[in-house]
Structure 1
Amino acid sequence: MEFIEHLSDRLGKAVSWLTGIMVVVMTLVVILRYGFNLGWISLQESVLYLHAAVLMLGMSYVLKHDQHVRVDIFYNRYSPVTQDVINILGHLVLLIPTCVFIIYISFNYVAQSWQFLEGSQEAGGLPFVYLLKSLIIVMPCLLILQALSNLVIRFNRVKATRAKGAN
């Protein structure tokens, strides 16, 4: 569990640096395009790759720190134990099955991309589309790992709280 927690933290912090790089590259694209009438497809595509990496690799970090989007009309009013039970059920009934489904439906799509080492369809584009598509598999795997870690932590908290209440 410590490994998963450490992995999510390290990956989240590493990926956060990509947002700054993405801003610099996008600024460069705009300056080159409108200031000097120059453009490179590969530079524009690199912004897409950076954005995908930030989004897909950062999800487990966001889940670990409980900063994901939540419809919390009632959630904030509940006790911490009830919140933990809701999160446990949400992970077991919604998050993990959805991630497994994403892996299942996208595996052949990603494998086919790797089989041909798929590159950009644009002339001068990046030749790493297969790596970009791999994030479709990596993201749910990371989310499942973090969800399992969250389940252990929340289950132990509920168990400890109930044990205190029984005493």
Structure 2
Amino acid sequence: MSFFKGLCRWIDTLNIWVGRGVSWVTFLVVIVVFTDVVMRYAFNTSFVFIQELEWHLFAFIFLIGAGNTLLNDGHVRVDIIYQRLSPKGRAWINFIGVIFFLFPGCYLIIATSLKFVYNSWSIMEGSPDPGGIPYRYLIKSCIPAGFILLLLQGISMGIKSFFTIIGKDMETENKS
């Protein structure tokens, strides 16, 4: 039990720290978008680099922040049934969802994106547009990285759900 508790704590802490970093990138997006809007409407000009930077930062936020969002139960779901269930019922839904949907989905995306990312790194892919960002391979690397963080958080959620199902509370369980 202590191994699983430590593993969950490590995964949760990792995604908390990643989430804090992503929150600063969110602040950076606000500055970049504000700058783009001011440049476009006040000076009637725009730069491809700034526009690409906006979507690169958005992609980074959503991909790398997904694990933290799962940790904080922030993903969208229809709570008509879920909210009325007992903690054990919620744990069953979470456990089944992790095993049958999250794990296979993450595996599929990680496995299929690795060659895609490798090819991008091998040619040091950049923007095809003049004045665009020359480091497109970096944002493509966020695809498997983000899904690895999401998969790790799914492992933590699955372990916690399993222990709730069998009646063990990981938070208050005495060390054995």
The correspondence of residues 1-150 of structure 1 with structure 2, limited to 5 A, is 1=7, 2-150=9-157
**Structure (1/2) with the larger helix percentage:** 1
Q: Name the Cα RMSD after superposition.
A: 1.4
Question: What CA distance in whole angstroms lies between the structure 1 residues aligned with 2:136 and 2:168?
Answer: 48
Amino acid at match of 1:155: F
Report the count of equivalent residues.
Answer: 162
Q: CA deviation at 1:85?
A: 0.9
Question: What CA distance in whole angstroms lies between the structure 2 residues aligned with 1:140 and 1:124?
Answer: 30
C-alpha distance after superposition, 1:49-82 (max 9, x if no partner): 1111111111100101112111222111111101
Amino acid at match of 2:44: N
Q: CA deviation at 1:107?
A: 1.7
TM-score by length of 2: 0.87
Question: What CA distance in whole angstroms lies between the structure 1 residues aligned with 2:29 and 2:76?
Answer: 23
Contact kept in structure 1, 2:87 and 2:164, CA below 8 Å: no
What does residue 165 of structure 1 align with? none
Question: What CA distance in whole angstroms lies between the structure 1 residues aligned with 2:142 and 2:78?
Answer: 26
Which contiguous aligned blocks of 4+ residues in structure 1 show a shift greater than 4 angstroms? none
Among all aligned residue pairs of Structure 1 and Structure 2, give the percentage whose two residues are the same amino acid. Answer: 37
Contact kept in structure 1, 2:48 and 2:129, CA below 8 Å: yes
Bigger mean CA offset, 48-57 vs 66-75 = 66-75
Contact kept in structure 1, 2:110 and 2:143, CA below 8 Å: yes
Question: What CA distance in whole angstroms lies between the structure 1 residues aligned with 2:150 and 2:32?
Answer: 28
Contact kept in structure 2, 1:81 and 1:161, CA below 8 Å: no
Higher relative contact order (CA 8 A, sep 6+): 2
TM-score by length of 1: 0.92
Unpaired runs of at least 5, structure 1: 163-167
Q: CA deviation at 1:161?
A: 5.3
Question: What CA distance in whole angstroms lies between the structure 2 residues aligned with 1:131 and 1:25?
Answer: 19
Q: Tell me, what secondary structure is at the counterpart of 2:167?
A: helix
Q: CA deviation at 1:101?
A: 0.6
